[in-house]
Amino acid sequence: MDLLDRLSTLNLPGGAQIRSPYGGELDYFRKNPNVAGMATEDNKVILNQLSGLDYEQLKAVAMNEAFRLWMKNHNFQSSMNVTNEQKNAFANTPYANNDLALQQTILARILSGDPSALNATQEQNTIAGMLSNAIGQR
């Protein structure tokens, strides 16, 4: 069983499913090996096996993307504050000028245990806990 097959058996938050990347998505991953995965327009999670990440790391990416899908599909809105450290860390990313996407990615990273959420505030941790309960992850 290859890595993607193993990952596709995960029980992801909100019932999200992993699928193999389509041709254009695979081309994108080849050109952007730093992108480990993404939530797709068809509400699936795709993972970049070319990223060099191991099973546990890709599992965390899959969890992160599943949380993002849930937030998107449930029109999750937040007015939480984002720290200057977090804003700076995401300054040169697609999240820089999209407050909702930045908030959602920080929450998803908190929930998936991704340290790139940086130093989460009490408010962010509280919202992440409420979100986890709503999704049924605790």
Same domain, 36 and 92: no
Same domain, 15 and 65: yes
Per-residue pLDDT tens for 63-116? 999 999 999 999 998 889 999 999 999 998 888 888 998 999 999 999 988 888
Same domain, 54 and 66: yes
Which range marks the domain in which residue 137 is found?
A: 76-138
Same domain, 65 and 130: no
DSSP 8-state assignment for residue 14: G
Q: How many helices (H) and strands (E) does the chain have?
A: 6, 2
Same domain, 109 and 69: no
User: What is the per-residue burial (b if ≥16 Cβ within 10 Å, else e) of 88-127?
Assistant: ebbeeeebeeeeebbbbbbbbbbbbebeebbebbeebeeb
Same domain, 16 and 68: yes
Same domain, 114 and 61: no
Instruction: Give pLDDT, residue 129.
Output: 93
Same domain, 17 and 67: yes
Q: Over 80: is that where the pLDDT of 137 sits?
A: no
Instruction: Give pLDDT, residue 61.
Output: 92
pLDDT band at 1 (very low <50, low <70, confident <90, very high): low
> The pTM is what?
0.86
Work out whether the CA dihedral 64, 70, 82, 101 comes out positive or negative: positive
Same domain, 62 and 85: no
> Which range, of 6-10, 25-29, 101-105, 134-138, averages the lowest pLDDT?
134-138
Number of independent structural domains in the chain: 2
Instruction: Give pLDDT, residue 138.
Output: 44
- How far apart CA 5 and CA 103 sit, in angstroms, is 31
Same domain, 59 and 100: no
Bridge partners of residue 7, in order along the sequence: none
Same domain, 2 and 42: yes
What tokens appear for 49 in the block? 């096996």
